[in-house]
Chains A and B, each alone.
Chain A
Amino acid sequence: MENAGYFFAAFAIIWAVVFGYVMFLVNKAGKISRQMKAIEEARPRRDQA
């Protein structure tokens, strides 16, 4: 199989980039989750006051 290296390079790059983007999305989801939790914790105190 000639030039298999190039083929795998292309293959690897595609999936590396896609995976990277998915990680970016996962991070964002985590950040949003944390912010929502912070707001949730702040709320009950407001209701009581």
Chain B
Amino acid sequence: MSTLGKALAITRKDILSEARSKEIVFSALIFAILVIIIFNFAFGADQTSMTLVAPGILWVTFTFAGVLSLNRSFVAEKEENCLEGLMIAPMPREVIYIGKGLGSLLFMVVIEIIALPIFTVLFNVSALSLPVIVITLLATIGFAAVGTLFSALAVNTKARDMVLPILFLPVVVPVIISAVKATSLALTGSGWSDLGSWLAILGAFDVIFMVVSFWVFPFIVEE
């Protein structure tokens, strides 16, 4: 089996187990929708203020939902001792990274696909435009790339769930900043040229951290 094939096998396993339990997507989704609704009540006075706060709220929502889904993806492995199984399997450790990473990416994208329309309706902003979708995708890739690395780390520690946000959020600050600013520009109708530099930062982050995490991952899961 090729490297990609092995990675996809891991992803497929994650998808199948998730499809049965629907744990990750469900809880993260409920959380996301709740946050959106609560913030809507907190800020939803007039349309101008809503448009102002919308990008920030959207990305706070996605960030926390993302942390939730990342947390859960490795916890299941640890509890069922699947991690040892994966380690014994005859494949380079990086493959585990790719497989889990793709899985997390997929789950986050599913959550976003469902949350974005709801967001659009509740905040009355045009969040379903192509720019916003591109921004969301780029940011999520960065999230998944770094997040998979850190959740593998977190799962090997004592205070698992609390640890991930503390370790992971400072590192993804540039992703969140860029996503918020770019979304804010996109929602107020700016063109692609304005978004250009923010998309470049997101893209650079994605590439750099996919490479770095890929390189560094084996050190996290080694025995």
Asked if A and B touch directly (CB within 8 angstroms), the answer is no
A residues sitting closer than 8 Å to B (CB atoms) are none
